[in-house]
Amino acid sequence: MEARVRFGINSLNFTDTFLERDLPLLDKVRAMGFDVLEITPVDPDRFPAGKVRRAAQDAGLGVNTNFALREDSNPLSPDPKVRQRALDLSKKVIDLSVEAGAEIYCGANYCAWKAFTGKPRTGDEWKRGVEHYRTACEHAQAASALVLAVETLNRFESYFINTAADALRFVREVGLPNAKVHLDTFHMIREEDDWGAAIRGCGDRLGYFHACGSQRGIPGRDLVPWRIVLEALRDAGYRDCITIESFNPDQSVAPLVAVWRHFASSPEQLATGGLAFLREQVSGIYGNVPA
């Protein structure tokens, strides 16, 4: 039986990080009609991973995790102490993801987010990045089926991997089956030359997809050519989770992601409006998405 496309929403649409007080969010997003909650544990030390697993199981909800490494824990650094901190932090978040029952660990989990050298990436940085990610993937592989997905980022958030072609080359050099590509329409609209070619080119190495408005607003009320994007996903054989990632300007994360205005009357309206649009579009293109 062909796998059914599922739909997710990122926790940062509703809350800054994810603490024990946020556990009711799992039931909430399930009631909205989502299949998966993508959780960003901004503060890993306070992430209630075991309770998330139990609450998700009770709600019949899938879980993914999203994390961005920090500048003081940068896998690309020439300083071996910084690289070791990066590996320690990566292993910690991987272990928490496994404990939470996550299927995919995505995001800027291969470089320090918004850390720049003022120059294009170097060959040495590439080698360090591949080595770090291979070790992280091996760590995950030893205890779980967790997939690690490399998110392409726009030039204002990273200089290291901006395009699908770069991410595909990266995961191929990592050389492990649990290393996959993560694409996001918000970043792609700034960096790709051809939507369809970028997505189709990833083929079975495409492990995760963020369906985001070009301005971080409601999908379908933006500039993304959604039919082209979704047809390419179908052609690439992608049959997994399509997740909305947006941010709330009333939360402390807002200045980090440069979100200064509301894109909907409420976070809930953004979530349900985006879900309704994506479900309708995917159903027409894939033909396998029940209401």
pLDDT digits (tens, 9 = 90+) for 116-143: 999 999 999 999 999 999 999 999 999 8
Alpha helices (runs of H) in 107-263, residue ranges in sequence order: 123-143, 164-174, 185-191, 195-202, 226-235, 254-257
Q: Is the pLDDT of residue 288 over 80?
A: no
Residue 36's DSSP bridge partners are 8, 62
pLDDT digits (tens, 9 = 90+) for 193-248: 999 999 999 999 999 999 999 999 999 999 999 999 999 999 999 999 999 999 99
CB 152 within 8 A of CB 207: no
Burial grade of 266 (CB within 10 A; 0-12, 13-18, 19 or more): exposed
Mean pLDDT of the chain: 96
Model confidence at 1, pLDDT cuts 50, 70, 90, reads very low
> What gap in Å lies between CA 185 and CA 228, rounded to an integer?
12
Q: Model pTM?
A: 0.96
Q: Residues with Cβ < 8 Å from 218, sequence gap 6 or more? A: 263, 264, 270, 273, 274, 277
Least trusted range by pLDDT, from 17-26, 122-131, 150-159, 280-289: 280-289
Q: What is the DSSP letter of 112?
A: B
For the chain, which domains are there? 6-286 (3.20.20.150)
Which phi and psi angles does 8 have, rounded to 5°?
-125, 170
> What gap in Å lies between CA 153 and CA 144, rounded to an integer?
27
Length of the chain counted residue by residue: 291
Task: Quote the percentage of the chain above a pLDDT of 90.
Answer: 96
Helix (H) or strand (E) holding 66: strand 62-66
